[in-house]
Amino acid sequence: MSSINPKAEQVTAEVISNKKIGAYHHMVFAVEGLALSARPGNFVAISVGGPSSSMVLRRAFAIYRSSDRGSAGGLIELVVAPHGQGSKWLTSRQVHETVDMVGPLGTSFGIPTEPVRTILVGGGYGSAPLFGLAEILKARGCRVDMVLGASTAGKIYAPLDGKRSVSSMTITTDDGSAGISGRVSDALPQIITENESELIYSCGPMAMLEAIQTIADKYQLVHQASVEESMACGIGVCMTCVVPLRGEDGVVRMSRTCIDGPVMDGSRVIWNSQRSIPQETWGF
């Protein structure tokens, strides 16, 4: 059975910056050595609500970027959508306040050892971990094409930020308010064909990831997907974030996305399970 990321640690993280950007908050935390171990695709789990809060479970947030500032310590950047009580509490934190943070958690995106042609596909604030990944891939000499999608223009996170590290940027919106009218899956076939893409990285809603996997299968591409399932603990205890995953031995098991993921081989996920346990599933 898989275990928690061995590099994870619990720290008291100080809020260095909290800026509202469109529908989201860009937050920066001083985390000392934790930042040195963080990789694109990892996440952190934050205690929310304060010591007397009824919100006893931590909230999981994908790491946007991490950086080492030498003697000044390390920084973790998050992009937070203030939807629920926990995320609203977090985005209301002021500079110099502190939060209890555990990380880095989960699996990270695999980085090619040689330059390849890649596509990075993100949905809404789910695109956050792809920006740091793009910078690493570019430094490795990879071609990086990025596709960002959302329901409307205001929910596309920082497209200008991404342009600095990519070969091309494509925007799609469901309502046509920015870029191409439609979904990211509508734009992918043409980009794959024109740029002879070899590898897809993705992060976003489950329905989007499933549509991307269908395209990856058609073009016989490797697809690394950061699977978005609700996480109650983030450390593999509660079993609320499981998805059916076909192992290398061909057996389907319910696998924890906080431990065996969030980054998974898209071809191994049983996408059409509709949050049920397939008949062929054998244990965990």
Q: Which residues of 216-241 are buried (b: 16+ CB within 10 A; e: fewer)?
A: beeeebbbbbbbbbebbbbbbeeeeb
What pTM value is reported for the model?
A: 0.91
Is the pLDDT at 10 greater than 60, yes or no? Answer: yes
What is residue 284's predicted lDDT score, i.e. its pLDDT? Answer: 53
pLDDT, tens digit, for every residue of 85-108? 999 999 999 999 999 999 999 999
Last residue of a domain, one of 105, 139, 169: 105
Indicate the SS3 state at residue 37: helix
CATH code at position 213? 3.40.50.80
Number of domains in the chain: 3
Same domain as 125, residue 207: yes
Counting every residue, how long is the chain? 284
Host domain of residue 215? 117-228
Residue 248 domain-assigned (yes or no)? yes
pLDDT tier for residue 250 given thresholds of 50, 70 and 90: confident
Q: State the DSSP code for 167.
A: S
Residue 2 domain-assigned (yes or no)? no
Same domain as 234, residue 221: no
Task: Give residue for tokens 């509490």.
Answer: 89
Residue 235 domain-assigned (yes or no)? yes
Residue 3 domain-assigned (yes or no)? no
What is residue 272's predicted lDDT score, i.e. its pLDDT? Answer: 78
pLDDT, tens digit, for every residue of 150-180? 999 888 876 556 677 899 999 999 998 988 9
Question: What are the φ/ψ torsions at residue 150 (nearest 5 degrees)?
Answer: -165, 175
Question: What are the φ/ψ torsions at residue 250 (nearest 5 degrees)?
Answer: 90, -5
Is the pLDDT at 249 greater than 70, yes or no? Answer: yes
What is residue 70's predicted lDDT score, i.e. its pLDDT? Answer: 62
**CA-CA distance, 4 to 2, in Å (whole number)?**
7
Same domain as 52, residue 126: no
Same domain as 201, residue 258: no
Taking every pair of Cα atoms in the chain, the longest distance, rounded to a whole number of angstroms, is 56
| DSSP secondary structure, 108-133, as one string | -----SS--EEEEEEEGGGGHHHHHH
